[in-house]
Structure 1
Amino acid sequence: MKAYVFPGQGAQFTGMGKDLYENSAVAKQLFEQANEILGFRITDIMFEGTAEELKETKVTQPAVFLHSVIAAKVYPEFAPEMVAGHSLGEFSALVANGALSFEDGLKLVSKRALAMQKACEITPSTMAAVLNLPDEKVEEICAEIDGVVVAANYNCPGQLVISGEYKAVEAACEKMKEAGAKRALILPVGGAFHSPMMEPAREELAAAIEATEFATPICPVYQNVTATAVSDPAEIKKNLIIQLTAPVKWTQSVQQMIADGATEFFEFGPGKVLVGLVNKIDKNVATTKVD
């Protein structure tokens, strides 16, 4: 079975999507439609902008979404049997499997980006990557720290990202190193994504998601929150709202997709982080990167 996967924030790069725009009339039309929906020429920043300009949250999230979704839409052998996306990538996955329209997906991603930016400005918060510690040990240390710090991204065995208040994350990093972590490194991000710190953004996004129509998808989505196959539009909505303050269970999602019959993973969009993670989770499945 073919699994289509979509990356999240951090995969962006200068020039992203330019080849698609120049070589496909369908892609060009979708990019121009996106410029109109957003009210600014995001294509100018994607194709010619600096890394700094691309890092702005209001740009990054729609840019990664657009590159991913448009790459999938112009792919000649488009036939997913299951989909998943890492964090923001879940919105790309939901457009790819028909649960969301292109326009509604882009509007929600733009609202999500702005809501997360606002939440980041309320309290100093951050994320950190922890390498070579068992998941259980990371969770145990987070629970012992004063302040808010939680496991946020289960990326692959031995690679977990924690998230929370700045001081709590710093304290957790020290304890992780003492416990034998190969690395516990603060990440250059705007705030504590996938933690209770995102509660204000979750409330704001919930209203927008509730007001948006979701259709029954052509194939199941393995959602970050449950790491299981979901096809019911009401359940998809509910999980999408919870996702902002809950961990991304990427390891568990990929393992479940493989258990359910996935033999080949196709990554659509910028970068190739996800095919790398899939290979670390199970080296026996085939992976393909689609630009």
Structure 2
Amino acid sequence: ALAITGRNKKELLKQIDAARKGVNTAFEKGTDWLTPLGSYFTAKPLGKTADVAYVYPAAVNSYIGIGRTVFRLFPKVFEDLKSNNLYNRAADVEKLVYPRSFPKLATRQLETLEKELLDDSLGMFESEIAFARYMTAIFRDDFQVKPKCVFGYSLGETSMMVAQGVWSDFEGGSNTLNSSPLFGDKLSGAKNAVRQYWGLTNTAELQEDNFWATYVLMAKPSQVEECLKNEPRVYLTQINTPEEVLIAGEKTACQRVIKTLGCNSFPAPFDHVIHCEAMRSEYEEITKVNSLPTQELPDITFYSAAEYQPIKLDRDVIAKSIATGLCQQLDFPQLVNRVYDDGVKIFVEAGAGGVCSRWISKILENKEHITVSLNRRGMDDHTSMVKALAKLVSHRVNLDLSPLYNLSTVTTKQNKLTLRTITLGGKSIAGAILSEENRKYFQNIASNLNSYRVEKLHQNIPFASELDNINPPTQPAEDPTKNIMEHGFELPEELQSSESTVLAQKTQQPIVSSPATNHQLDNTIRMSELNKTQYQKLSDNNYQITQNHAAFLQARKDFSKQMSEIIQLQLVCAENLLNEES
């Protein structure tokens, strides 16, 4: 099958022209034809004869902005995260992965934020697990790319269990992991598990910068193992391919090994302790945090690196398998070859980046297979998915492409509701605005609005004859100006009109109550029964409330005046517009 991709008609036509030659070349040479835009053709499709496996990379590949547009492309994935208890965990780390900023972040700022994310082991772990979950949901459930088996690299086995839905309550497990000392000071940070294993009682015995390091080496495992015989504090932790490995341990000792081998190397993007005997003291804790409620998925086979074979989906079996795999050396080629021998030739990497795809291609470079990466850094999510689907289509893998084209019923209804018919032409906008009726209305609006506000103020402010006889407060009342400023109002320059008179009466004259008012109050509260101190506090509070309310009314009056001036300015602008047209 031939898959043609493009962003517009022009690109599609160019891809079709290129395919006329590319397809012939693919048949002649027996190689696959592909283009930078994602068009793909293979003369030897594997979908009808080979099985599909989902691969989950180690949870150390997350990055700033990963999966930024996935929720927009597939909105129902958001509900999937909530239903699988992942939303709260993803929300906790989303500000690390998607930092907010009004101005565009500079390169140096992005590098700093990236460093913060890399230093947060749990943040990296949980963000990648969430990403693996919704990418799995999209391809397995929406596009119907059904896996025959699944396996993970290192911590990818944890991602595998969450993404495939084996663990239904990952939020509870994540809470346990966050409260566990594993990634606090045991395997990260101070790495006390290693200090204990090496017998380091004094933390100053090895300085922080020289204590632990992890390096990627371009060398054969046998060569590295020979060098490590003289370095007891360096470990061969992971074998990625027959020519790429990871070593970890005391930094200066690792550098001696690299110098002895004379091979290319670079620091790994993480520095936590994993896949070595120095962390075996944490086996029970790792088992504990991975012991979660489990459900069966009978149509999918799950592989583990604990013994490089399928495992039973049992709570205890899963927990012990993950713990065993993390506490021993990881031989990824052995795991890949085992899965390949069981009939898998199509490997879909459902996680961040494409590092596992690269390793698998190297491991199986002389064998018939394909790798499909669902995410690549620097490529938008839509393009990554379309390229992956094109490759699967050409290999005749059973899938459903309708999610790329079909709009949901809800979206269709919403679009219909927003459709409106607009007739061009008609009367002048300026003429409609500046009609005689509108002119008269806006000329009087300022005075009418002020009159209305003043009348309301008179109605809201009580007269002196309507209040009880209240003693002046024993302590100075709060400054109304300060109160206004604390509540966000602008400081008035001076009080005017009747409000000023009322306030003066309240501050300078004793307030006399009417007999009717005293009679009504006496029917509800017997003043003789009140404690004198409480009554004085009540009086103080009433006095402060009265002052604050009066100050608020003054501020509201000033605001009304400003609105009146704004309306008048709008009227002047409209008149100027009409004059310019005439």
Normalising to structure 2: TM-score of the pair? 0.45
Taking the aligned partners of 1:37 and 1:198, their CA distance within structure 2 comes to 26
2:325 maps to 1:243: yes
Q: Is the 8 A contact 2:132 2:163 kept in 1?
A: no
Cα distance, 1:101 vs. partner? Answer: 2.1
Query: Could you tell me which of 76, 80, 92 is aligned with 1:41?
Result: 92
Alignment-mate amino acid for residue 296 of structure 2: T
**Partner of 1:14: helix, strand, or coil?**
coil
Q: Is the 8 A contact 2:60 2:269 kept in 1?
A: no
Q: Is the 8 A contact 1:17 1:47 kept in 2?
A: no
**Partner of 2:150: helix, strand, or coil?**
strand
Q: Is the 8 A contact 1:193 1:244 kept in 2?
A: yes
Alignment of 1:220-239 (within 5 A): 220-233=301-314, 234-239=316-321
The structure carrying a bigger helix percent of its residues is 2
> Which residue is equivalent to 1:202?
283
2:60 maps to 1:10: yes
Taking the aligned partners of 2:173 and 2:121, their CA distance within structure 1 comes to 14
Q: Is the 8 A contact 2:135 2:351 kept in 1?
A: yes
Query: Could you tell me which of 65, 81, 89 is aligned with 2:129?
Result: 65
2:143 maps to 1:87: no
Cα distance, 1:114 vs. partner? Answer: 5.8
Number of matched residues?
A: 283
Cα distance, 1:205 vs. partner? Answer: 2.4
Superimposed CA distance per residue, residues 36-68 of structure 1 (whole angstroms, 9 cap, x where no aligned partner): 247x53223223373123211120000111111
Taking the aligned partners of 1:105 and 1:274, their CA distance within structure 2 comes to 29
> Which residue is equivalent to 1:135?
221
Alignment-mate amino acid for residue 265 of structure 1: F
Cα distance, 1:3 vs. partner? Answer: 0.8
Taking the aligned partners of 1:2 and 1:224, their CA distance within structure 2 comes to 19
Cα distance, 1:21 vs. partner? Answer: 1.9
Unaligned ranges ≥5, structure 1: none
Taking the aligned partners of 2:345 and 2:361, their CA distance within structure 1 comes to 12
Q: Pairwise CA RMSD of aligned residues?
A: 2.7
**Partner of 1:162: helix, strand, or coil?**
strand
Alignment-mate amino acid for residue 287 of structure 1: T
Taking the aligned partners of 2:181 and 2:87, their CA distance within structure 1 comes to 17
Unaligned ranges ≥5, structure 2: 1-50, 101-112, 196-210, 376-582
Superimposed CA distance per residue, residues 117-162 of structure 1 (whole angstroms, 9 cap, x where no aligned partner): 4212124322121212x21232232233133x22211111110111
> Which residue is equivalent to 2:243?
158
Cα distance, 1:232 vs. partner? Answer: 4.5
Superimposed CA distance per residue, residues 231-288 of structure 1 (whole angstroms, 9 cap, x where no aligned partner): 3524332111122321222111111111111110001121111111111111331111
> Which residue is equivalent to 2:295?
215
- The structure with higher relative contact order (CA 8 Å, sep 6+) is 1
**Partner of 1:288: helix, strand, or coil?**
strand
Q: Rg larger in 1 or in 2?
A: 2
Q: Is the 8 A contact 2:135 2:350 kept in 1?
A: yes
CA gap of 1:70–1:110, structure 2 versus 1, over 3 A, is farther
Cα distance, 1:229 vs. partner? Answer: 2.1
CA gap of 1:25–1:114, structure 2 versus 1, over 3 A, is farther
Q: Is the 8 A contact 1:152 1:246 kept in 2?
A: yes
Query: Could you tell me which of 114, 128, 131 is aligned with 1:51?
Result: 114
CA gap of 1:99–1:41, structure 2 versus 1, over 3 A, is closer
Superimposed CA distance per residue, residues 175-224 of structure 1 (whole angstroms, 9 cap, x where no aligned partner): 354245x22444342332222333454332222334x2233343222212
Taking the aligned partners of 1:12 and 1:137, their CA distance within structure 2 comes to 31
Q: Is the 8 A contact 1:130 1:184 kept in 2?
A: yes
Q: Is the 8 A contact 1:61 1:113 kept in 2?
A: no
2:84 maps to 1:20: no
> Which residue is equivalent to 1:264?
346
**Partner of 1:231: helix, strand, or coil?**
coil
> Which residue is equivalent to 2:182?
115
Q: Is the 8 A contact 2:88 2:171 kept in 1?
A: no
> Which residue is equivalent to 1:280?
362
Taking the aligned partners of 2:230 and 2:247, their CA distance within structure 1 comes to 14
CA gap of 1:113–1:244, structure 2 versus 1, over 3 A, is farther
- Percent identity over the alignment is 19
**Partner of 1:237: helix, strand, or coil?**
helix
Alignment of 1:167-206 (within 5 A): 167=251, 170-180=252-262, 182-199=263-280, 201-206=282-287
Q: Is the 8 A contact 1:4 1:266 kept in 2?
A: yes
Taking the aligned partners of 2:165 and 2:63, their CA distance within structure 1 comes to 27
Taking the aligned partners of 2:175 and 2:275, their CA distance within structure 1 comes to 17
The structure carrying a bigger strand percent of its residues is 1
Taking the aligned partners of 2:159 and 2:176, their CA distance within structure 1 comes to 9
Alignment-mate amino acid for residue 162 of structure 2: V
Taking the aligned partners of 2:146 and 2:269, their CA distance within structure 1 comes to 36
Range moving further from structure 2, 64-73 or 45-54 = 45-54
